[in-house]
Amino acid sequence: MALEITFGVLGGLGLFLYGMNLMGSGLQKSAGSKLKQIIELLTSNKYMGVLVGTFVTAIIQSSSATTVMVVGFVNAGIMQLSQAIGVIMGANVGTTITAQLVSFKLTDFAPVAVGIGMIIYLFTSKEKNKQMAEILIGFGILFIGMDFLKDAVHPLREIDAFKDMLASFSHNPILGILMGFGLTVTVQSSSASMGILLALASTGMITIEAALPILYGENIGTCTTALLSSIGATKNAKRAATMHLIFNIIGTLMFALVLNIPIRHIVLQLNPDDVARQIANAHTLFNVLNVIIQIPLSGFIVKLALKLIPETKDELLTEHKNTKYLDERILETPSIAIVSVIKECLHMGKETRISLKMSLDSFINLDKKDIKEVFKREKQINLMEKEIVDYLVKLSKREISASNRELIDGLFSTVNDIERVADHAENIAELANVFIERKLSMSEDAKQDLIDMIDRVIKAYSSSLKAMRSGNKDLAFKVISMEEQIDHMEKSCRMNHIYRLNQNQCSTESGILYLDLLSNLERIGDHASNIARAVIDVQNMQSL
């Protein structure tokens, strides 16, 4: 009998989790454009953070995943601790939606939802319809799993020792809290442990008095995922995970010691005869009231986390990395991870533009002071390219929509184009170094032609990055037009310089270096055009 119950619980729980993940994946793809805008909403306003956390968790169906993502944001430097606390609080509210959904008796509709979902999925080619099908199939499987779970735990009603253990939780809440904590740590999902609790409630084996301590313990248990995720991350990321733990421990103590009776009274009044609904409502009330009570204390929670994990002088040095916005934890939400990659590409593009400007200034002004810095930056940009490409490979293996996959494919080529611009900046720095060491010179006419072409090239490259940032296709078309102008300028400068060589106005050695420089500038114009074409080709380039 014990083996039968164990296999039944594992099977039901597996279906429940699979259905929840499938539904979350469909919701996430469907709401992708909204999730991409989430970065813009992550202001220092903690109240907005609560709304963001609630929304994201409702979409991805996991408060643990949201909190892990927050740890990733903090680790990547995208979010400050003062912003993170609001999102963490909101994640706790968002996770109650799953419990509310499961507590309703919708099992009869589950096969219908799976059937309709499969028909839509098999007979449609539209991406939006397939996303809706995934949501329906996931919804159905979730409730089928819940039904399996209820059937699996039903024989436990006959075991007196198990019933006595559940009853003891109402008299000894500490045991109940430990039970809830242990259960959530084991399954690594507060929604799954809540599903088990609701399954027990549906068989009449547990009362609201016994369920409340377990519920409180589950809220602490869900912190372990983020804490484990923060291992090896920056100290700030560890502080974010610690804030989650502090928030839930304070909430548990507050409700277990002070608000337990009022909560129980309210849920009994709302649903006198339905323990599953009582538990779901208690879960929602606990998390909503916990946020309302603790949001004025958010500053204290941040300070306490800083006290527990103090700041050190060498913190920034020890936690430095080449990329600024990438973190593998954010991969849990691909739509947001894509935004992080775009931001990182723009960061790489900005660093490359600085390097390019330095190398060109060195050539024009015949000044060596920035040449070593260009060589140093080129090595760093190469490392950035490797990290971005590695991240894109991991992101491309995730469950993503066809439009996002198209965007990722475009980013692969864009990263390569930016890195090639950095290579040309390094080439120009080498040419400048030779020009200076050999004490070569160029005529004023040659210099003026060069300055005009440099201005056009830098404008084209900067505009391509701006088009990428804004998703502005009109600007991207202008960059392509600029590239054609650069080609004409390169031919004109080349012809003018050959004329000057024939007139002995320039030396042959300086002329060769000058022509090499023109070739590098023309190639930079080509790469700027490639970046612009990627913006035009991608249908859903998001404004940042």
pLDDT at 391: 94
Is pLDDT at 38 greater than 70 in this prediction? no
Instruction: Count the Cβ atoms, other than its own, within 10 Å of residue 473.
Output: 15
pLDDT at 63: 79
pLDDT at 318: 45
Dihedral of the alpha carbons of 347, 353, 355, 360, in degrees to the nearest 10:
180
Instruction: Count the Cβ atoms, other than its own, within 10 Å of residue 144.
Output: 20
pLDDT at 13: 82
Q: What is the 8-class DSSP label of residue 124? A: -
Is pLDDT at 235 greater than 60 in this prediction? yes
Question: Using 50, 70 and 90 to split pLDDT, how confident is the model at 289?
Answer: very high
Dihedral of the alpha carbons of 294, 300, 301, 307, in degrees to the nearest 10:
-160
pLDDT tens-digit profile of 485-542? 999 999 998 888 788 777 776 777 788 888 899 999 999 999 999 999 999 887 555 5
State which of 57-66, 397-406, 418-427 shows the largest mean pLDDT.
Answer: 418-427
* Contact between 1 and 33 (Cβ < 8 Å): no
- What's the CATH number of domain 328-537, 3.40.50.150, 1.10.645.10, 1.20.58.220, 3.30.450.20? 1.20.58.220
Is pLDDT at 226 greater than 60 in this prediction? yes
For the segment 261-277, the average pLDDT, to the nearest whole number, is: 89
Give 135-177 as a DSSP string. Answer: HHHHHHHHHHHHHHHHHHHGGGGG-HHHHHHHHHHHH-HHHHH
Rounded to whole angstroms, how far apart are CA atoms 428 and 430?
5
* Contact between 32 and 401 (Cβ < 8 Å): yes
* Contact between 191 and 222 (Cβ < 8 Å): no
Is pLDDT at 250 greater than 50 in this prediction? yes
Distance of CA 62 to the CA centre of its chain: 14
Length of the chain: 544
Is pLDDT at 317 greater than 50 in this prediction? no
Map residue 206 onto helix, strand or coil.
Answer: coil
pLDDT at 44: 60
Could you tell me which of 510, 507, 519, 514 has the C-alpha nearest to residue 437? 510
Mean pLDDT score of the chain: 85
Angle between helices 275-294 and 235-254 (to 10 degrees): 120
pLDDT at 319: 47
Rounded to whole angstroms, how far apart are CA atoms 27 and 46?
25
pLDDT at 48: 84
Is pLDDT at 119 greater than 60 in this prediction? yes
pLDDT at 1: 59
Q: Report which of residues 335 and 506 the model is more confident about.
A: 335
Q: Report which of residues 305 and 539 the model is more confident about.
A: 305
pLDDT at 94: 87
Rounded to whole angstroms, how far apart are CA atoms 471 and 91?
30
Rounded to whole angstroms, how far apart are CA atoms 73 and 530?
30
Could you tell me which of 288, 291, 263 has the C-alpha nearest to residue 173? 263
pLDDT tens-digit profile of 89-103? 998 898 888 788 877
Of 62-71, 217-226, 289-298, the least confident: 62-71
- What b/e sequence results for 24-57 when a residue is b if at least 16 CB atoms lie within 10 Å of its CB, and e otherwise? bbbbbbbbbeebbebbebbeeebebbbbbbbbbb
Is residue 470 left, alpha or beta, with left meaning phi > 0 and alpha meaning psi from -120 to 50?
alpha
Domain ranges within the chain, ordered by starting residue: 2-308, 328-537
pLDDT tens-digit profile of 186-221? 877 777 888 888 888 887 888 888 889 998 998 898
pLDDT tens-digit profile of 340-369? 899 999 999 999 999 999 999 998 888 888
Is pLDDT at 333 greater than 60 in this prediction? yes
pTM: 0.74
Could you tell me which of 334, 485, 469, 342 has the C-alpha nearest to residue 401? 334
Q: Letter for the amino acid at 453?
A: M
pLDDT at 79: 78
Rounded to whole angstroms, how far apart are CA atoms 426 and 379?
10
pLDDT at 441: 80
Question: Using 50, 70 and 90 to split pLDDT, how confident is the model at 443?
Answer: confident
Q: Letter for the amino acid at 338?
A: I
Q: What is the 8-class DSSP label of residue 542? A: P
pLDDT at 315: 55
